[in-house]
Amino acid sequence: MPEDIVSYRELFLAGRPMMDMRAPVEFANGAFPGAVNLPLMTDSEREQVGLRYKQQGQEAAIVLGHQLVSGQAKAARIQAWADFARANPDGCLYCFRGGLRSRIAQQWLKEEAGIDYPRVAGGYKAMRGFLIDTVEQAVVECDFVVVGGMTGAGKTDVVLQLRNGVDLEGHANHRGSSFGKRATGQPSGIDFENRLAVDMLNKRAQGIEQFVLEDESRLIGRCALPLPLYQGMQAFPLVWLEEELNGRIERILRDYVIALAAEYAAMHGAAGQALFEEHLQQALSRLLKRLGGERHQRISAILTAALAEQARSGEVALHRDWIGILLREYYDPIYRYQRDSKSERIEFAGDQTAVLAYLGARVRRG
């Protein structure tokens, strides 16, 4: 058998293909970027084996496992593993702790398909711990700056243009506000943390020791920022991105209306427009208590008319009206207060061109 993989850092930096032997329910709860779930046991089989283990011990559980995964089921699984291994000769396999399941899969691959395939020592649990440590170490060892600004100022646009930018919203697949849900859905919280950690690991391997982040709440949709990073963001230096109201309205129109409607259409075909409309109406409804009944009703009427016109003709101009009201009357007062409360941390303020130039110079100074 090949030697077990023990360098998690090199494993993630190389982007080696990974075959996850855990049950589908385990994989869905959290996995690594690019990993493929080819389980030794189904969820039902795993549950039965786990129950037998509790009642009668490990030996009896192993016997049951071999009974459940036998014959055609065993042959089909080995074939899937062999196909993966042949397509990814530089890959590896793992289970939860790098124990029995990965050893069995490794043994069957060798015996039935003649393939020596390495497994990861410590399995998912050890790799997950390594990635948690990766983020915590970065918070302690690296320099960070946070980009703040009014809603629609283009903070994400700035982060995406920087080699040392970390796109938190991209990893969470969510734009970070009540309206920020994407048609493609979010990863699990663990998947989000793993993606973030691998991104930081790769950037540090490239010599980057200063990171630029967008100012975020603890939650980006349903994905929670790692606590050490979020706590750090409450004290990191802040750069404030300035943008006129009209520019912010146009950016929100581009991202939250035009691009999102196209995303829903691409995902859901003819049903996409109705789902897009439902998303915007629900997002506005979540602000009902904060907006108050009269203001919510006023904005909702404008939004409904804008959506009807968009569905009829494809014209989106009416959306500017409700976006402008929401910015002026709701979001802007909140962000002005936030800016005032964080004023001591602001080390630079300017438009996108000036902010990009400042952040570029800041990296060089570092």
Residue positions annotated with a catalytic role: 95
Q: Are 310 and 258 in contact (CB under 8 A)?
A: no
Cα–Cα distance for residue pair 207/205, rounded to 1 Å = 5
Phi-psi bin for 15: left (phi > 0), alpha (psi -120 to 50), beta?
left
Cα–Cα distance for residue pair 340/54, rounded to 1 Å = 58
Exposed (0-12), middle (13-18) or buried (19+): which is 71, by Cβ within 10 Å?
exposed
- The one-letter amino acid code at 184 reads T
Pairing of strands 92-94, 210-214: unpaired
Angle, helices 293-313 vs 272-285, to 10°: value is 170
- b/e per residue 122-133 (b: at least 16 CB within 10 A): bbbebbbebbbe
SS3 32: coil
